[in-house]
């Protein structure tokens, strides 16, 4: 049986990895703890009234950035492998950092901490790596400034804010973003009056679930459709507004739980099993929040043999297993309200489309141009290198398959999702696929290449 070869000598290299065609992928596997949930668990535990503990905390560099920033704010954190203990002392307990909070590559860290620190009466500067410095922060700073946050130094990172004296607002999200929603809710827990966030298209609801588990003053009003009327049927088809409201919190209850595996990481292994002939894998104990399973639904619509089952719940989050088998795929159209809950998996779906029969069209994904890289441009360029016919659109792609894939030198632009998506595609390409800057996968999935190798043995 052929193995995934990491480099020409089978060694780890900080500059590249070589992926060669793989034999069947088999077995059960787990993935690191959910990155989105780990961020939120750490941030909310820091303002809980007492100690909280989490197992299977994400080992990603992004979540390490969150922990490092919290420690700079005076939060007591103990780390033992993937177990994290945080001593929360309530709102208003942070100390002013002596240096800028360096968020690395993590937009989640920067945006959510901006919301959390909006209630603290001191100045703080946020900074990040070159990629994060290019990403939009106005979408968070604008609503927070409407609540009373003072922008001392505006613009892209580094920027400086001063918190304190917040008032609740009603805010309609102009861009579907769970990060922006969460930042406003975190500020709202420290504001006078009620804060209401309105979203047209559903986004990840990890923050709402966690706040409910901590007995926070939060209410979620879902749209109700009267299907007996034309108006109700149209609202159901077009989507209707979801309203999340919070009021000032006296305290938040500490909490302990095991974090489920990250489905966004598991998606790469699931895709590999679908593409590589005679493969069958099961991802165990993975998060199956319904705002995160759009990838599985789309993969099934493409003809992928994938099934999943909820087996329990942790802190309001459903957890279960996903089984995937090698499948023959067909092209589909992906657009509209489903896109916000697919945004991280779209580069991977574009790679799957290269192996699908017919044309796949992905639209309404402009947000991809504002991620760690311009993912639309990056995917287009790399697919063409591998022999795929792809039309680059302003907001997505039109991809014709199945292509006769040839190994190529892949430019990742330091983007973890580009690196992993094309590593998966390299498993079914002729010859060698060279992945540049492979260490970027540590941002979200440490051990990704080792996990692929184990499944191929």
Q: What is the 3-state secondary structure (H, E, C) of the chain?
A: CCCCCCCCCCCCCCCEEEECCCCCCEEEECCCECHHHHHHHHHHHCCCEEEEEEECCCCCHHHHHHHHHHHHCCCEEEEECCEEEEEEECCCCCCCCCCCEECCCCHHHHHHHHHHHCCCCCEEEEECCHHHHCCCCHHHHHHHHHCCCEEEECCCCCEEEECCCCECCEEECCCCCHHHHHHHHHHHCCCECCEEEEECCCCCCHHHHHHHHCCCCEEEECCCCCCCCHHHHHHHHHCCCEEEEECCCCCCCCCEEECCECHHHHHHHHHHHHHCCCCEEEEEEEECCCCCCHHHHHHHHCCCEEEEEEEEEECCEEEEEEEEECCCCECCEECHHHHHHCCCCHHHHHHHHCCCEEEEEECCCHHHHHCCCCHHHHHHHHHHHCCCEEEEECCEEEEEECCCCECCEECCCCCHHHHHHHHHHHCCCECCEEEECHHHHHHCCCCHHHHHHHHCC
344 catalytic? Reply is yes
Q: Which residue has the tokens 């190798």?
A: 453
Q: Are 48 and 88 in contact (CB under 8 A)?
A: yes
Q: Which two tokens stand for residue 107?
A: 């937009």
Instruction: Please name the residues in contact with 254: beta carbons below 8 A apart, sequence gap of 6 or more.
Output: 45, 48, 49, 50, 51, 52, 88, 214
Contact in structure between 258 and 284 (CB atoms under 8 Å): no
* Cis preceding-peptide flag for 158 (omega within 30 of 0): yes
Max Cα separation, the chain? 67
Pick the catalytic residue: 34, 205, 262, 344?
Answer: 344
Task: Using the structure block, give the residue that is written with the tokens 């973003």.
Answer: 177
Radius of gyration, CA atoms only, the chain: 22
Which residue do the tokens 């430019």 mark?
Answer: 411
Active-site residue set: 344
């Amino acid at each position: 049986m052929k193995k995934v070869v990491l480099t020409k000598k089978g060694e780890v290299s900080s500059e590249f990895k070589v992926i060669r065609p793989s034999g069947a992928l088999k077995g059960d596997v787990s993935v690191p703890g959910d990155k989105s949930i780990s961020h939120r668990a750490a941030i909310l535990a820091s303002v809980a009234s007492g100690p909280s503990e989490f197992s299977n905390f994400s080992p990603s560099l992004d979540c390490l950035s969150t922990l490092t920033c919290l420690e700079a704010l005076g939060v007591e954190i103990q780390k033992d492998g993937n177990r994290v203990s945080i001593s929360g002392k309530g709102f208003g307990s942070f100390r002013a950092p002596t240096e800028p909070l360096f968020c690395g590559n993590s937009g989640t860290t920067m945006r959510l901490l901006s919301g959390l620190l909006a209630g603290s009466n001191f100045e703080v500067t946020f900074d990040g790596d070159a990629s994060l410095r290019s990403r939009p922060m106005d979408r968070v700073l604008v609503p927070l400034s409407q609540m009373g946050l003072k922008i001392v130094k505006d613009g892209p990172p580094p920027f400086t804010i001063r918190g304190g004296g917040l008032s609740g607002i009603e805010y309609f999200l102009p861009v579907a973003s769970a990060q922006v929603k969460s930042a406003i809710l975190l500020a709202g827990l420290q504001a006078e009056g009620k804060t209401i966030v309105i979203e047209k298209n559903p986004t990840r609801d990890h923050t709402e679930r966690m706040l409910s588990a901590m007995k926070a003053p939060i209410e979620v009003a879902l749209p109700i459709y009267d299907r007996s009327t034309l108006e109700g049927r149209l609202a159901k088809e077009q989507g209707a507004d979801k309203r999340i409201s919070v009021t000032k919190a006296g305290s938040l209850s500490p909490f302990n739980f095991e974090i489920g595996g990250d489905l966004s990481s598991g998606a790469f292994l699931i895709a590999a099993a679908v593409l590589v002939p005679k493969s069958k894998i099961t991802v165990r104990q993975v998060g199956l929040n319904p705002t995160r399973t759009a990838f599985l639904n789309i993969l099934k619509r493409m003809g992928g043999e994938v099934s999943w089952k909820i087996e329990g719940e942790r802190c309001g989050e459903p957890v279960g297993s996903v089984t995937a088998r090698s499948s023959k795929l067909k092209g589909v159209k992906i657009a509209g309200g489903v896109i916000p809950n697919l945004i991280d998996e779209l580069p991977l779906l574009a790679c799957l489309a290269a192996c699908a029969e017919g044309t796949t069209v992905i639209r309404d994904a402009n947000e991809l141009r504002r991620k760690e890289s311009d993912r639309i441009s990056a995917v287009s360029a790399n697919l063409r290198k591998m022999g795929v016919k792809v039309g680059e659109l302003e907001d997505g792609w039109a991809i014709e398959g199945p292509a006769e894939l040839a190994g190529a030198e892949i430019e990742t632009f330091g983007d973890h999702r580009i690196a992993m998506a094309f590593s998966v595609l390299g498993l079914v390409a002729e010859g060698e696929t060279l992945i540049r800057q492979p260490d970027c996968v540590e941002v979200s999935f440490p051990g990704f290449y080792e996990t692929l190798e184990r499944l191929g043995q």
